Structure 1
Amino acid sequence: MGACMKKTLTKPYAIAKVQMIPASSNEEKHIHLKNSEFLKNDSTPIFGSNLPRRSSLVNFNESTAPDRTLRRGSFSGAIDRKASFTKVEKTEDDKKLIQSALQKHFIFSNLTDLQIDALTIEMKQVVYPSQKIIFEQNSIGDNFFIIAKGKVEVVINLKVAAVLNTGDSFGEVALLHETPRTATIIALQETKLWALDRMAFRKILQNMSHQKFSENLVFIENIQMFKSLTKKQKESLANAMTVETYKPGYRILREGDTGDFMYIIKEGTVIVTKNGTEIRKLIKNDYFGEQALLQNNFRTASVTAVDKVICLSINSEGLYATLGSHLQEIIHTNTQRMAIDANPYLSRLTSVQINNFVTKTKVTTLKRGHTIKIAGCPIDFIIIVLRGCIGTKTLRVKYLEIFSFQEVLDGNKALMENIVVFEDCDIAEISKMDFEECIGGRLNEVLERNDIFKVIKDIQIFQSIDSKILEKVVKMFSVVRFRNKDVIFTQNQPGDSLFIVKSGNVDVVKNGVVIRTVGKNDYFGERSLIFNTARSATIRAIGNVECWILSQSQFMSIFNSQMKAILQERIDLQDDKIEIQDLCTIKLLHQGRVANYFLCVNQANKKLYILKTMQKSKIINLNLIDNVLSQKKINSQMNHGMIVKLVKTFKDSARLSMLIEYVAGVDFSEALKSLKKLNELDSRFYAGCLILIIEYLHDHEIVYRDLNLMNIIIDRIGYPKLINFSCAKSIQSRTFTLIGTPHYIAPEMIAGNGYSFPVDFWSLGITLYITMYGMLPFGNSLTDPMMIYQEILNKRLIFSSTVDPLSKSRDLISSLLIKNPNQRINAEKIKSHPWFVSFNWDLLSSKQIKAPFLPVVPDFSLEAKSAIDNYRTSLDEIIRFESQNDFYIPRFNVNNKWDADF
């Protein structure tokens, strides 16, 4: 494998024919790369000749694309943009020719008949005289063409490559993204063309997909069976359902047949018959066939369309792939969660505790009159009513209510009366012992720890600490009590403990003056856990006060030396008091079209940073306002040890600046070259890190959209660090932009019908395939994006004959590279996959597993000292550098407060 890897690993980075859009998207990744490739002087490009380069980044319709005239550079004019396009009525022969041409091309292969019809209607006519150039090679174009009548010549690099005739098509890449034409097209005779522009193409797909999705979602939300599904589950279901149309008289279901489809009526009427006798009619919003999903049995009746009937349908396999379980299990699980959310005590459990709880309960279906428990037995159980009604002679417990919870909370008691079923019901039951095991102890104690956890996770000093370690920290807190006017500690006294107010209020007194009063869940003394600093104020109790307290010695006892060093680094990165005047410039790292990157040093603590500066005028001219503000917003949310940290932002009248964590290391592809051969253990280490990163992003509702080897830096301790958030987006539902690196793009992004978080798991699958087998699964020898996309959509995933068919890693990769996003494996299932059996996720997240590879990183201490000694302040260097380059004058009028949130 090692030889194969060395031979093929650079293929994912061959320069494709797609240009990088937006202009700033591909810059940031290079700043953290192999340090020996850094600038020798201000004019030398950062890219060394031996540095592998990724496939080009593509982007469409994100409101971030730079202005065309600025981007075009030396390209020839886009002649097809200047032509006169006319929308004309099409004959049946015209429609047949257009649809025949569309069906020949992979871009249109997955579209519905309705979408094909809409595109056919949208196409406009344009006529070119003989010898007229339709477009030139390297020009930027918007249109896809079908030859209605005539003949054209294809010229590549001044040589005739082909001749196209009536019914042939060309220029299809323009429908996906803005990119230079790969050939010149010349009319050999008067030629009539049908043309479709990119904006119209994407808008039709997006609007029709959104309409279908929205209609499906409305129907699902109105179905009682699905009421307990979460928003994400309903959206997944809406996306997975297909539309079926039936003519009057068509028998949709036949009594006695096997079947596993459920149908929801969107339009029309059906009759339900049993043994030939009509038993009822069903209309819009009614559903049938659901028993196949609930009980997997034979059809108990026939269903026939009365008039034209349109239904939404899904089968049990599709439902399981979409929701991850059988429908009845999902309904029961979600109903338990709803009951828990309504309980004032159980609702304070963490999501992990709740998940453990509902997983452990036993669900039972009972008939009216059944006795559940008899009088005299101990109350050491909890029962949640999922359907129906249970109770005693004096008590009724209905849907979403919980029986015996208070008794379990107060301590074991005996039942005074029998518990019986008053209405047919479903109940979820768990013993007290199992309940406490699931949540991690006695409920009162667990809830108190949860309260502490909620407070400390928002304290800056704890934000970089893994949640598993924080769970250990909260168990170390103890309670101390103070009476009225007791002094908890005094100003200037050495500090060694953190206090959190559990109940009551305290005064904060500075130099004898009360500066504020704080109460429950407020905290003070947090810096004492790390730094031996004197107390900055006196804290005095007002009335009776209870505090949770954690000492420095307790806190530090859970960290080994490596963990302490990592913690210190993360704390240093949270220093938001730093100002741009505190920075001295060591060197210019990279001059981009939008941003300049400087390696800087903090004069006070000698810590290195990257300062990214952007002229406001360039941002405005290149139409990048939304992109820049989105990047800043997303980066500000990120606080994960394997994601590059945005430390602070600065702005003045001329520019915006971002102070970014400096990551000394090499990109992942360079690390793989050094490793030469990756065994299963090493592959699992990197895969585990990437899964934790993606899980964190998705928990924050961020879809990354450009996971690839060049956006992953291996830092000085060998752990991956994700950089470059230019393609990331915060989403609530689906999005439609084609963006990212061609070889890593998921099929649903290419199809244009909308996508969501599963695209990141596809990219993860591509990345793992490369790391394990040394080549790309799709388009390994290709650089043309259109050919790459065609393979992604149509080629079957293939593994080398040397790969064990029963390999667990192969199975995981196959689960990640499923073309249907609804069936693709997610983070939760990946972590429980057999390949990760016995894998210690806690040790990985706290970076206690030894990394397979440690990069060689340079020492900039001498350069940093020189910069400080010569007082080369970053702001001065920025101004000096910009004065030597063209300073853009804004050409568009924008709100002068557009950067208020930066």
Structure 2
Amino acid sequence: MEKQLEELKQQLEKQCMINQELQRQNKDLEQRLQEKEKLLQELDSQYHDLDFPSQSSHDIDPEVRKSRAAVIASEPIPETLEIKCMRVKKNASETNLIVKAIQKNDFLSRLDDEQTAMMVDLLAVSSFKPGEDVIKEGTEGDSMYIVAAGELVVTQAGRNLRSLTTGDVFGELAILYNCKRTATVKAKTAVRLWSMERQTYRTIITNKSKKKREQLMGFLKTSHTLKDLNNVQLSKIIDSMEEVKYQDKDVIVREGAEANTFYIILKGEVLVTKNVNGHQKQIRRMGKGEHFGEQALIREVLRTATCSADGPVTCFSIDKEVFEETIPIEHLELFDDSKVLQEAQAPEKTNPSSTLRFKDLVPVQYQEGRYQGDPVTLGVGGFGRVELVTTLNHGKYYAMKRVSKKHIVAKRQEEHMLFEKKILKATQCDFIVGLHASFKNSRYIYMVMEFCVGGEIWTKLKEVGRFDEPIAVFCTSCVVEAYAYLHKKNIMYRDLKPENLMLDVKGYVKLVDFGFAKELVRGEKTYSFVGTPEYMAPEIIKNQGHDFAVDFWSLGVLIYELLVGSPPFSSSEPQKIYAKILDGVPKYPPYMSEAAKSIVSKLCRPRPGQRLGNTKNGIKDVRNHRWFGSMNWHKLRVGQLDAPTVRLIRKGPCYINFDRFPVDQTKAEEEFSGWDREF
């Protein structure tokens, strides 16, 4: 008996040892899984910045956008832009090679003939010896290259990706914005390259856009019909006009036909003829800057003459229907959005001076799970972290945004940061997150904001795949109200996406993160390259100058992503995203309603002046679209609607609706330049 007990005891001890070993292995596996998860997240975020096409020629759209959108902060552009680089003369074969390279590139092929010619003119030349690095993985880039001669090798993390030879373009994302290089490009043989820096490229595009705009403004001011319009209204007309090209002898308008289009000649000459006894008699010849058909904009008329192209002609045109949407004919006055907002505009409350003190704020800690005891992080972005804090007596929760001052200075975002604080401090809108207090020290600036317990719309969308239409309608309606408030104050938002929409305790949606917002005088344009690639409007990508219309474009993209699970223009490679945006043809899945397709297509019109929300009735047209047919706007504004989003909010600890992030032990460097004096 004793012997049996001893054997049993030994077996139990052996089993305990095996169990302990298994537990140790499990812990080891869990740790390795966590490390792999972290690595995958890092790779995922890098994936957005890839500026080399994959070897596969097939671009398969993902069903859903799985990773958070990469953001691009605008770089300040000097008021007067000058091209400083030396012009390098190119012979005919070199010019031909460069033009072909530009034409076969997904992004650059969208440049017009004049912009292409300017690029050819301003490309600089450089040479590299075999073994020399042209681009180094991980470094920040500001130049794009076209291979003039020789062969290069592209590697990533030491692995060969592809070869580059004569006529290949690489690094082109760097001329749009400051991005980290995701691969190394090394000269395999002696190499000669054509190159261009970002500042030169932006100067070419911006100067051309400004010049063309000023020119069109001058042309419009010579029109008798339009002479009483102000610059804001003329700017709206330019935004609605289309560029049209005609070949020699093409008839642009025919005598006797119904007139419905107004034309301005940009290039070439137009012959005006009349039918006299069965023969065409030439009346006059028109050239650059002259216009015809203006009567067609304001009354029912028939064409009194035939206008045809004498050689190639380029015109800018606007038809009557679009013109009437842009300018109310009866009183020639730009829409006044205040009339739209009067119905439920409560008197503005002033922000009470905060009694919060920095020393009274304490971090909230995770109560369970692998981060138990760590401070709760609600979100992590390119410019800092948002942490959950409470007051010492646990009276109320707050979301505290903490940003490294050194990082702000390095990325030249001081003005944006100060403007974000200014907006939030002055804002009293139920659809925009509230700012309670702001603090600073030598390392960080802190913004203590309202805590939205329901979490990000992004997280909810990833959990369910795509939203039912009533939820999408409700979320978008909240954004429309936030837009109405901001646009009335002449503020563009410019960073709409599910990651920047939060749910409060009632399930109402609030706009957060105003780092890219900008104040703009109506009728003016701004030329910065800013936003999230999938949500950017075509005019930002083309550097044509943009205004409030970009917010309506992104509203269309948001509606699509909420209903489908991924944006209408998406790809793993940013330059392909931009190419798709410029093509501007979303593919609608069969389950999408006709009303949803209609509102997306009207918000995502390539010409900003034709976009829903940006025509003469302003945001009222968005509210009146049939997709919002079930929405009671008054009840929404006063918070009397039951939000369908409530069912997305989980019950549990106050942080249960947020993704979990490990604690950040690193400390930012100190920064003493004093830019935050007024913060």
Which residue is 1:313 aligned to? 316
For 2:68, the equivalent position in structure 1 comes to: 54
CA contact (8 A) 1:206 1:754 kept: yes
The more displaced of 238-247 and 606-615 is: 238-247
Distance 2:597 2:245 in 1: 40
Deviation (angstroms), 1:713: 0.8
SS of equivalent residue, structure 2 residue 147: strand
Equivalent position to 1:333, from 331, 334, 352: 331
Q: 1:620 to 1:156 in 2, by over 3 A?
A: closer
Which residue of structure 2 lines up, in the alignment, with residue 181 of structure 1?
181
Q: Which residue of 1 aligns with 2:644?
A: 852
Query: CA–CA distance in 2 between the matches of 1:617 and 1:291?
Result: 59
Q: What is the aligned partner in structure 1 of residue 352 from structure 2?
A: 575
Per-residue deviation, residues 151-173 of structure 1 (Å, max 9, x unmatched): 22233343333223222222222
Q: Secondary structure at the match of 2:480?
A: helix
- Structure 1's 235 and 86: CA in aligned 2 closer, same or farther, altered over 3 A? closer
2:605 matched to which residue of 1?
A: 818
Cα–Cα, structure 1 residues 203 and 580, in superposed 2: closer, same or farther, change >3 Å? same
- In the other structure, the counterpart of 1:497 is none
1: distance between equivalents of 2:177 and 2:407? 22
The alpha carbon displacement at 1:849 in A equals 0.9
Q: Give 2:627's aligned residue.
A: 835
**For the residues of structure 2 that align with 1:298 and 1:256, how far apart are their CA atoms?**
5
Give the distance between the partners of 1:196 and 1:728, measured in 2 at CA: 30
Q: Is the 8 A contact 1:219 1:266 kept in 2?
A: no
Residue 428 (structure 2) pairs with residue 646 (structure 1): no
Aligned residues: 586
Distance 1:708 1:754 in 2: 21
| In 1, Cα distance between equivalents of 2:503 and 2:66 | 15
Q: 495, 503, 518: which is aligned to 1:706?
A: 495
Hey, what's the Cα distance between the residues in 1 that align with 2:403 and 2:73?
21
Deviation of 1:118 after TM superposition, in Å, equals: 0.6
Q: 1:618 to 1:837 in 2, by over 3 A?
A: closer
Indicate which of 570, 578, 585 corresponds to 2:362. Answer: 585
Per the alignment, residue 45 of structure 2 pairs with: 15
What CA deviation, in whole Å up to 9, does each residue of 1:487-530 have, x standing for no partner? xxxxxxxxxxxxxxxxxxxxxxxxxxxxxxxxxxxxxxxxxxxx
What are the ranges of 5 or more consecutive residues in structure 1 without an aligned counterpart?
1-9, 21-50, 65-84, 339-349, 356-465, 474-569, 862-880
Aligned pair 1:717/2:510, yes or no? no
Structure 1 length-normalised TM: 0.58
One-letter code aligned to 2:516: C
Equivalent position amino acid for 2:291 in 1: Y
Task: Name the counterpart of 1:765.
Answer: 556
Matched, 1:746 2:537: yes
AA aligned opposite 1:113: D
Aligned-partner SS, 2:431: coil
What letter corresponds to residue 188 of structure 2 in structure 1?
L
The answer to whether the 8 A contact 1:18-1:58 is kept is no
In structure 1, how many angstroms separate the alpha carbons of the residues matched to 2:207 and 2:477? Answer: 38
| Structure 1: distance between partners of 2:584 and 2:231 | 33
Q: Is the 8 A contact 1:685 1:851 kept in 2?
A: yes
Question: Where does 1:231-630 land on structure 2 (aligned, <5 Å)?
Answer: 231-241=231-241, 253-256=253-256, 260-264=260-264, 272-274=272-274, 275=276, 287-295=291-299, 297-303=301-307, 313-316=316-319, 320-321=321-322, 324=325, 330-334=328-332, 468-469=343-344, 574-580=351-357, 583-587=360-364, 589-590=376-377, 595=384, 597=386, 599-602=388-391, 606-613=395-402, 619-630=408-419
For 1:792-817, what per-residue CA distance to the aligned partner results, in whole angstroms no more than 9, with x for missing partners? 3336321223445xx22222222223
- 1:575 aligned partner, one-letter code: P
Secondary structure of 1:640's aligned partner: coil
Counterpart residue type for residue 671 of structure 1: K
Between stretches 216-225 and 114-123, larger displacement belongs to 216-225
The 1:695/1:213 distance shift into structure 2, 3 A limit, reads same
CA distance in 2, matches of 1:816, 1:52: 24
Report the AA paired with residue 55 of structure 1.
Answer: A
> 2:481 aligned with 1:692, yes or no?
yes
Q: 3-state DSSP class of the match of 1:792? A: helix
- Partners of 2:461 and 2:244 lie apart in 1 by 49
Instruction: Identify the range of structure 1 (730-739 vs 284-293) with the bigger mean alpha-carbon deviation.
Output: 284-293
Contact 2:272 2:308 (8 Å CA) reproduced: yes
CA contact (8 A) 1:716 1:856 kept: no
Determine helix, strand or coil for the equivalent of 1:160. strand
Superposed CA offset, 1:40-82 (max 9, x none): xxxxxxxxxxx97512212342479xxxxxxxxxxxxxxxxxx
Q: Contact 2:358–2:439 (CA<8 Å) still a contact in 1? A: no
Change (3 A) 1:799 1:598: closer
Greater C-alpha radius of gyration: 1
Residue 113 to residue 580, structure 1, CA distance change in 2 (3 Å): same
Distance 1:695 1:87, change over 3 A: same
C-alpha distance 617-680 of structure 1, shift in aligned 2 (>3 A): closer
Distance in 2 (alpha carbons) for counterparts of 1:227 and 1:314: 17
Q: Which residue of 2 aligns with 1:368?
A: none
Could you tell me the percent identity over the aligned residues? 27
**How far apart, CA to CA, are the structure 2 residues paired with 1:749 and 1:285?**
26
Q: CA deviation at 1:300?
A: 1.0
Shift of 1:641: 0.3
- Post-superposition Cα deviations, 1:676-724, rounded to whole Å, max 9, x if no partner, equal 7643333322221122222222222222222111111111111111111
Partners in 1 of 2:214 and 2:490 — Cα distance? 20
2:459 aligns with 670
SS of equivalent residue, structure 2 residue 329: helix
Using the TM superposition, give the Cα deviation of residue 846 of structure 1 relative to its aligned residue in structure 2, in angstroms: 1.2
Distance 1:721 1:185 in 2: 44
Q: 1:16 to 1:228 in 2, by over 3 A?
A: farther
Q: Distance in 2 between matches of 1:206 and 1:788?
A: 21
Is this contact kept in 2: 1:124–1:194, CA < 8 A? Answer: yes
Distance 2:116 2:474 in 1: 46
Amino acid at match of 2:73: N
Q: Supply the AA of the counterpart residue of 2:184.
A: T
Q: Could you say which residue in structure 2 is the equivalent of 1:99?
A: 99
Aligned to 1:558: none
**1:621/1:199 Cα in 2 relative to 1: closer, same or farther (>3 Å)?**
closer
Q: CA deviation at 1:842?
A: 0.4
Q: By how many angstroms is 1:852 displaced?
A: 1.3
Distance 1:695 1:178 in 2: 32
- For 2:164, the equivalent position in structure 1 comes to 164
Once the two structures are TM-superposed, the CA of residue 661 in structure 1 deviates from its matched residue by 1.9
Return the alpha-carbon distance in structure 2 between the equivalents of residues 775 and 688 of structure 1: 19
Alignment partner of 1:794 is 2:583: yes
Paired residue for 1:885?
Answer: 667
- Map of 1:193 onto structure 2: 193
Q: Equivalent residue for 1:40?
A: none
C-alpha separation between the residues in 2 aligned to 1:270 and 1:220? 18
Any idea what SS the aligned residue of 2:179 has? coil
Q: Provide the aligned C-alpha RMSD in A.
A: 4.1
Q: CA deviation at 1:210?
A: 1.1
Instruction: Please tell me the residue identity of whatever aligns with 1:801.
Output: P
Partner of 2:16: none
